[in-house]
Structure 1
Amino acid sequence: MEKLSEEIISFLKNQSFMVVSTVDPDSTPHSACKGLVDIDSSGKIYLLDLYMGKTFENLKKNQHISITAVDEHKFKGYCLKGKARIIRAEYVSPKIIKAWEEKVTSRISQRVIRNMKEEKGHARHPEAMLPKPAYMIAMQVQEIVDLTPHHISKS
């Protein structure tokens, strides 16, 4: 079990999404974008998944998971490796669902502001059309990989 520094926690909380990778039955990687819901310094990360698709099927058979987040502008990123368990939607606390709803609202607001300042992105607000979460992924981090190249200052 790896503890997470405040720097890593802050970095991950500021990402709009992360790439979650699981292992298919034929041992090939499967990657999908997911949103962070909660994280703590003990190395526990919680993500909500809106669909019971490939990620869900893979986690039922193989708990190994990695989460990758990068900030291209800062040339910084992390890959967190560990094991995950599935928590069915009916067992997800109302506090977690509320946090997810607040994140969706924030993303819609950010998109509206960005569309006003810059070239418009998506014609609609895709976040507003998202279904309710189908289940939660609870991950315990076992390894932290700093993706920032070693020759670049980490200031």
Structure 2
Amino acid sequence: MKKIPPPIIDFLRVQGFVVVSSIDKNGFPHSSCKGIVKIDPAGEIYLVDVYQGVTSENIGRNQQVSISGVDEHKFIGYCLKGKARLIQDEIISQEIIKTWEDNITSRLTKRLLRNVVQDQGQGHHPEASLPHPKHLIVLEVEEIVDLAPHHLKKPV
């Protein structure tokens, strides 16, 4: 397990979501969006999966997974690679559920405020209809890749 440096933890905490890439039954990458609910600096990242679909099937066959997050404005990003495991919903702590609910409420509030400021009425708010988490994906980080071009990389 690889320790996650504080600047990368800070970066990941402000991401609305990350892209999780798993390997499908034909050996091709499968990408999906997941929300981070906990980061253990020792090297584990906890993500909520509300659907228990293709990503969880893929992890059941092949634990090799990566997560990627980028900030287009700052031109920075990271890809964290490692092995994933699933924690079923009946053993997800109430603390994790509360964090997930707070994250969803925050995203929904930001969307509503942005719509008011931009005077754009939006009747569709996807976060409000998300189902209860089916399980957690826990990534044990083995490698961290800085996605910034070499001349723009900052020491971590």
Instruction: Please tell me the TM-score bracket, short chain as reference.
Output: over 0.9
| AA of the residue aligned to 1:84 | A
Map of 1:72 onto structure 2: 72
For residues 90 and 101 of structure 2, what CA distance do their matches in structure 1 show? Answer: 16
Using structure 2 for the length normalisation, give the TM-score: 0.95
Contact 2:46-2:137 at 8 Å conserved across structures: yes
Q: How has the CA–CA distance of structure 1 residues 91 and 121 changed in structure 2, closer, same or farther, with 3 Å as cutoff?
A: farther
Using structure 1 for the length normalisation, give the TM-score: 0.96
Map of 2:85 onto structure 1: 85
Structure 1 unaligned blocks of 5 or more: none
Deviations 1:56-113 (A, max 9, x none): 1001111110000000000000000000101000010111001000000111111111
Answering whether residue 104 of structure 2 is matched by residue 104 of structure 1, we say yes
For residues 96 and 75 of structure 2, what CA distance do their matches in structure 1 show? Answer: 30
Structure 2 unaligned blocks of 5 or more: none
Root mean square deviation, CA, Å: 1.4
Map of 2:11 onto structure 1: 11
| AA of the residue aligned to 1:31 | S
Q: Which stretch of structure 1 is more off in the superposition, 44-53 or 145-154?
A: 145-154
For residues 79 and 49 of structure 1, what CA distance do their matches in structure 2 show? Answer: 19
Q: How has the CA–CA distance of structure 1 residues 121 and 33 changed in structure 2, closer, same or farther, with 3 Å as cutoff?
A: farther
Answering whether residue 59 of structure 2 is matched by residue 59 of structure 1, we say yes
| AA of the residue aligned to 2:33 | C
